[in-house]
Chains A and B, each alone.
Chain A
Amino acid sequence: MTNILEEISKSCGCDTTYKPADFKVENDVRWCSGCGSYGILSQVQKILPELGVPKEKFVFISGIGCSGRFSYYVDTYGFHSIHGRPIAIASGLKLARPDLSVWVATGDGDCMSIGGNHMIHACRRNINLNVLMFNNEVYSLTKGQYSPTSQQGQVTKSSPLGVLEEPFVPAGLALGSGATMVGRGFDRDAAGMKNMFKAAHDHQGLSFIELYTNCVIFNDSAFDPFTSRQSRKEHTVNVEHGKPLVFGENDDKGIIMDGFKPKVVSLADGYSVSDFLVHDQHDVALAYIIAQMSYHNPELPRAMGILQSIVKPSYDQLTEAQIAHEQEAKGKPDVQKLLRGKDSWVVE
């Protein structure tokens, strides 16, 4: 049936040498000054030229909220959609066009609340999408109500006496839903983001990356313990495949496992780095434990980096394989024959 796609492949550029400036749009970026989203945008624009993909094959799909504007701010194909649905739209696009590099920009409200159903099912299907979830733990574009990731007790416009609900752990939800690659980072960490974006692109399957994004207006400094230079080293641990979980101001603390519970220990207590838990990004049980650290026990540091990366066939690959198999088994498609069906008869 295809012809449009043949046309496209003919017109598609082989030139993949770009500069970040090639992905900058002419129109103004309209986030509040100081918004963490600028940092994410800048790293995305830096990484795209390095991926070896023709510019016209990138697509950014976004939902609603501050993160929803993202697709307007990258000079390639973009689709700003509706509340909570960017992953559903991106899923259809990727299935129809496996040749494209499809990125989703979504927020904690968009992705975890109204779009929660699409998010968990995209993870389960392992569609080859790169999902960047901007988490500012508040609804910003609707001006300051609590979100599904807001902390219990957080005071917002719709929780003047404090939020009653427990927040989602986004990375844990993604892992529990079967996402094959899950990462966590933050707006101020340029190197960490670049590393994860590159890995997400290379990963064949759904990559879910949660990015702590500071909202200067409605939830300013909410992530400071994990993101500011002063406290970051004490409160976060950078996980890297094959490396021990070391953290602390002087790299003097580590995580060990006490049964199934992670526990903080210190070199000063006689432990050595070789005692520490070593990150294995292929270990799904470990990923879940690491993802939850600090949520229920504030003494534990919060994990940043690629929490899990495992290889499973993606839904889009499986679809193509099924089509190829069927075409081999049944021969060249003949639509006229399909219309006739099996039980037709001829009137002379």
Chain B
Amino acid sequence: MMDKTQKYFDKLTIRFAGDSGDGMQLSGKLFANAAASSGKIARTFPDFPSEIRAPEGTLYGVSAYQVNFGKEDVHTPGDEVDILVAMNASSLKTNLKLLKKGGIIITDTEGFNRKNLRLSQYEESPLESGELEEYNLLALDVTKNIQQELSNLGMSPKNIKKTRNIYVLGVVFWLTGHDISSTANWLKEKFGKKPEMLEANLKVLDAGYLFGQRFEGLPEQFIIDDASMQAGTYRNITGNEATALGMVAAAENAKLELFLGSYPITPATEILQFISSYKSFGVRHLQAEDEIAGICSAIGASYGGSLAFTTTSGPGLALKVEASGLAVMTELPLVIINVQRGGPSTGLPTKPEQSDLLMSVWGRHGESPMPVLAAASPGDCFHMAYEASRIALKYMTPVILLTDGYLANSTEAWKVPDLNMLPKVEVQLADPAEPYQPYKRDDDTLSRKWAVPGMKGLEHRIGGLEKADITGQVSHDPDNHQLMVDLRQQKVDGIANDIPLLKVEGDTESDCLILGWGSTYGAIESAYKILNEKGVKVAKAQLKYINPFPQNLGDVLKNYDKVIVPEMNKGQLATMLRAKYLKEVIQVNKVKGIPFKAMEIASEVEAIIQTETELV
């Protein structure tokens, strides 16, 4: 065995790409888990077609999973790829443009047979044509290697083929200096009841690792130091799982039952799936017949005294609009989670966008104010779901939480919070000893008290018709309607006193602020680092509360000559800022169904600053 050298990096990006059936999502997830549990910071992004299983080998059937990992400053899944795993010709063709010049390609030569080449529309094999000269090509005969490795097990060729992704993962583990133990443990749990598959997978994992060690085509290992993370318990978590857990934690701390009424819709469906597996926690759910029944059943459960929520994505939010107005009118606590995807109509089901902001803030009939929050990272989905619940219960109001397909599916290492250290969740329950006035309000919060069926002596009727102040009787009185409209607005506006001020970071002396919201957080963080290293002075801030805005937002905007607002839409936050603060802001928009790259934001910001300077 020849000596291998070790090269050190701050961070690396690996992209696992292959056919939809090649198990690339799994390879990516297992790699991310191994990287994170060995002390790196990892961010991931799955990129898959909306078809379940497109025909094998085709360009449109390619599924990919990207992992960016390093010891610090890992806030996105990475702009450019260092190591590309491409299991077949189509996955190479569609992903090569993401690979850095000089980057490594790992392929299975079997994936470049005549049929695969035809489907990928290569005239001749790129492995032989010389067109990959600018890269380090490692064309492995994965299929042959695993066949040899598993020849004694008497497995079908089909089942043998299923282990290709694990073999390649073994190779990548060696290449990046990770040990295979976390994946081996995962396999033991997964295939506990299928000893043959377990043995096969463990064998090929090991074989892939050893192959890397011995193969002369792999002279170097790419090593990253462990991250210096705060002490604590960590796990990798996706935005969707974090959202589900945030709701469970809020219910626990509020001492309420949790109820979810939901209809499956990409990319929100997983939240329903997670919740449905929490039955032992007493969590109840209804997979409703449609989106409207989803939110309505949650309103019913809320009326009954549960912490109730509904989950959806854009088209579903559109259907929930009338019922969300009912929740506004009845002033019941409710959390509406919208995992945004590309629109309009069915749009891009598996791709993220931030284009439901205006619908969330204003998209109901009548004057129908509703708090709107946005999560900034996968782990932050937990805290914002918890925060949405806290606000909903304290202020007796429906609250919309915006996440998106990118947060929903990507992972980050998340410090597991201590339930006892989370903010207090107050419930505005009516006092059975006092006569009940359904629309009598708390002086500070303006919230009404919650009287739940079963509370003796507090029987009352509520509903969607306008309510008389205090008594809650049906009222069509013009002055009363004006008063109630004003009160509902004041209640929501007042929440600004109960949320954190916007924190500006970076070079606060600069005259340029990058202001983002939601999932652009990571790209803005990384863009800021890039600009900082170049000596470009900018400040940055991320909005997580959009209705109401933080109290200091107007002052923050005044402090900067140039406010640059990157959004994955045509300028929805920018519109709101102009409308409310009469502040001209500079838009940076991308509506491609893919998140911003850090470099895109950095270069746009740099160009804006330079243009302004030249004009002076």
Contact = CB atoms under 8 A, between A and B. Distances in A.
Interface of A: 1-5, 7-9, 11-13, 25, 27, 54-59, 61-62, 71-72, 75-83, 85, 88-97, 99-100, 117-118, 120-121, 319, 322-323, 326-327, 329-331, 333, 335-336, 338-348
Contacts of B36: 345
A96 B417 contact: no
B251 interface: yes
A11 B574 CA distance: 51
A81 B249 CA distance: 30
Contact of A338 (B245, B302, B322): B245
Given A89-B296, A96-B306, A345 B234 contact: yes
A118 B289 contact: yes
B305 A92 contact: no
B37 A327 contact: no
Given A81-B463, A348-B231, 10 more contacts: A8-B455, A58-B453, A77-B459, A82-B296, A92-B296, A97-B306, A121-B288, A323-B282, A336-B418, A338-B278
Interface stretch (B257-265, B507-515, B545-553): B257-265
Best-surrounded residue of A59, A88, A95, A329 (most CB of chain B within 10 A): A88
Contacts of B305: 4-5, 8, 96-97
A339 B456 contact: no
Interface in B339-362: none
Given A77-B453, A347-B230, A91 B280 contact: no
B318 interface: no
B249 to A, nearest CB: 6
A79 B463 contact: yes
B303 interface: yes
Interface in B444-473: 452-465, 473
B256 interface: yes
B296 to A, nearest CB: 4
A91 B416 contact: no
B259 A95 contact: yes
B282 A2 contact: yes
Interface of B: 33, 36-37, 39, 182, 186, 189, 229-237, 245, 248-249, 251-252, 255-259, 261, 278-282, 284, 286, 288-290, 292-293, 296-306, 308, 322-323, 325-326, 330, 416-419, 427, 429, 432, 452-465, 473-474
Nearest to A332: B280
B293 A91 contact: yes
A44 to B, nearest CB: 15
Interface residues of chain B: helix, strand, loop or mixed (majority): mixed
Contact of A12 (B258, B456, B459): B456
A118 B282 CA distance: 25
A54 B251 contact: no
Contacts of B308: 92, 96
Among B296, B416, B458: residue with most chain A CB under 10 A: B296
Nearest to B228: A347
A346 B186 CA distance: 17
The CB with the most chain A CB atoms within 10 A, among B300, B429, B460, is that of B300
A4 B427 CA distance: 9
Contacts of A91: 286, 288, 293, 296-297, 300
B473 A27 contact: yes
Contacts of A25: 461
Please name the 6 residue pairs, one residue from A and one from B, whose CB atoms are nearest each other, closest first: A80-B463, A92-B297, A92-B300, A88-B296, A93-B300, A3-B255
B301 A96 contact: yes
A12 to B, nearest CB: 6
Which of A118, A329, A340 lies at the interface centre, i.e. has the most chain B CB atoms within 10 A of its CB? A118
B124 to A, nearest CB: 44
B453 A56 contact: yes
A319 B284 contact: yes
Given A2-B255, A9-B454, A88-B292, A93 B303 contact: yes
Contacts of A57: 453-454
Contacts of B456: 11-13, 54-56
B304 A326 contact: no
Given A1-B252, A97-B454, A327-B282, A80 B461 contact: yes
Give the one of B249, B419, B455 with max A CB within 10 A.
Answer: B455
Given A56-B456, A326-B279, A7 B429 contact: yes
Contacts of A13: 456
B252 A347 contact: no
B461 A72 contact: yes
Contact of A347 (B231, B284, B300): B231
22 contacts: A2-B257, A2-B282, A3-B256, A13-B456, A54-B456, A71-B461, A78-B462, A81-B296, A82-B296, A82-B464, A85-B293, A89-B297, A89-B300, A117-B289, A117-B293, A323-B280, A323-B282, A326-B279, A333-B280, A338-B281, A339-B416, A348-B231
Contacts of A345: 36-37, 233-235
Contacts of B301: 92-93, 95-97
A81 B464 contact: yes
Contacts of A59: 453
B368 to A, nearest CB: 13
A206 B312 CA distance: 28
Contact of B232 (A5, A61, A97, A347): A347
B248 A8 contact: no
Nearest to B258: A1
Contacts of B330: 79
Nearest to B419: A336
A333 B282 contact: yes
Contacts of B289: 117-118, 120-121
